[in-house]
Structure 1
């Protein structure tokens, strides 16, 4: 992350002033100090969204997430605020996108068809299926399948960040924020979620795994990944979309198991 690290020691007095004495000026200073987190997250998320989505709107929602993080963060536990705040900011931006219904119904329907195709074919053959097999199942040409992937790429940002439960605004990834959490149910869920993701990632093609790794673990943009892999940005976007659709299918099965248990 290109955000300058802000240590808890250097600003501990601000946290004390805000949390222990309710000093509003200290809260304002904390917001200003951590604003680079909003810039980093909103700019990164904007890279995968249509041009019609305003960056200012993303940043505005992100600031609300940052304020929420500052209000809820427990500075006395010794946890890293930047990590906690990043997910709060990201969640607030996603909530804003969802409430705005920025994805057309036709795009959602295409994404659902692709997810169902991968789920059906991989359950049938018990292996990773090819693009040709998926396009044949959907009764479309390979070029039309690539076009569908390009159309649904704008949804890939949200697919791994769905709520733990439909009525809950907390994301699945939030389970990983507090490593000292003692709740056994959370620990069990975290374990099985990790296993499901490992299983899903293992089924991806080599190129799909590379894209996922570079995007989510190395913090590269899609255009930067395109340069690394010597592929066009549109092809990288397609690979990213395919990977997310398949991982989402795995997570949906995990979610169904949780609801039935």
Structure 2
């Protein structure tokens, strides 16, 4: 415990020094200290992505986000740097992935078509549609819908980690909002609080199984494979459930934000 307190005090002292004179040497020490955070975020983004996307590349993209976070972090705000930095690290990774356009256009088109169908069904049903209802809306069989969800799951980064404006020049992603759903910082903007409220309402309209998958994956820190073991289904099936839930949440938030 004493060792941990000493380490925290040392990091705080580094922040105080950097805030005072922006010493490049101090910045390098901060970068070194927080570099494991970049590897963690890159690892989460890499889940379910094609093997052609190299983890080391994701880490290198994330470093730019870490540098941006260090430059812009305000020590006086009272919240943890890690919480602040994760959005910017992930945003830098997603921005770079988008710039190289690694997601096939056909898959993007299918994802948009699914979101539109979900929005239309929820407007009529006032709840999250079942796979049978969604398949019928899209004129697909349930098997065809599940195959489509499986393909889109490889691009979950383009759905769940979608970074969008949240007012006052700040940017958030659905995954950050999910992971931080239970708290609202004292200085949180009205838009941030409203986003969390909308997301909470959207989650309650998902099926019980979809809520369980999101809870185990985002709040309990399980892998999709581990979630499959708990629920007694394959990891592939969990990917499908996860993708449908994520697209449904994104459709709700984007629809309300327009």
- TM-score (structure 2 length as normaliser): 0.87
Query: Which residue of structure 2 lines up, in the alignment, with residue 259 of structure 1?
Result: none
Partner of 1:86: 86
CA, structure 1 residues 149+119, in 2 after alignment: closer, same or farther (shift >3 Å)?
same
For each residue in 1:23-60, what CA deviation from the matched residue of structure 2 results, as whole angstroms up to 9, or x when unmatched? Answer: 21111111111111011111111113121211111100
Aligned to 1:205: 207
Q: Which residue number in structure 1 is paired with residue 33 of structure 2?
A: 33
**Residue deviations 1:170-206 (CA, integer Å, cap 9, x gap):** 2256897982327xxx31x233322321221111111
8 A Cα contact 1:44 1:221, kept in partner = no
Q: Is the 8 A contact 2:153 2:239 kept in 1?
A: yes
Residue 153 of structure 1 corresponds to which residue in structure 2? 153
Paired with 2:126 and 2:20, the residues of 1 have a C-alpha distance of: 56
Query: Take 1:139 and 1:76, find their aligned partners in 2: how far apart are those partners?
Result: 55
CA contact (8 A) 2:128 2:248 kept: no
**Structure 1 moving runs of 4+ over 4 Å:** 4-8, 172-178
CA contact (8 A) 2:165 2:172 kept: yes
Q: 1:87 to 1:8 in 2, by over 3 A?
A: farther
Q: 1:36–1:11: structure 2 CA closer, same or farther, 3 Å change rule? A: same
- Given the alignment, which residue of 221, 226, 229 partners 1:227? 229
Could you tell me which runs of 5 or more consecutive residues in structure 2 were left unpaired when the two chains were aligned. Answer: none
Contact 2:115–2:251 under 8 Å retained in 1: yes
Q: How many residues align?
A: 248
The TM-score with structure 1 as length reference comes to: 0.86
Does the Cα contact within 8 Å between 1:73 and 1:81 map onto a contact in 2? Answer: yes
The 3 A distance-change label for structure 1 pair 128 and 82 is closer
| Cα deviation 1:73-111 (Å, max 9, x = unaligned) | 122443211111122211111111111211111001111
1:6/1:144 CA distance change after superposition, 3 Å: farther
Query: Is residue 2:139 matched to residue 1:139?
Result: yes
Aligned match of 2:66 = 66
Residue 163 (structure 2) aligns with: 162
Contact preservation (8 Å) 1:79, 1:178: no
CA distance in 1, matches of 2:134, 2:158: 23
For the aligned residues, what is the CA RMSD? Answer: 2.5
Give the Cα–Cα distance (whole angstroms) in 1 for the partners of residues 193 and 186 of structure 2.
14
**Corresponding position of 2:123:** 123
2:218 and 2:142 map into 1 onto residues whose CA distance is: 27
Structure 1: runs of 5+ lacking an equivalent? 257-261
The answer to whether residue 188 in structure 2 is matched with residue 179 in structure 1 is: no
Q: Secondary structure at the match of 1:163?
A: strand
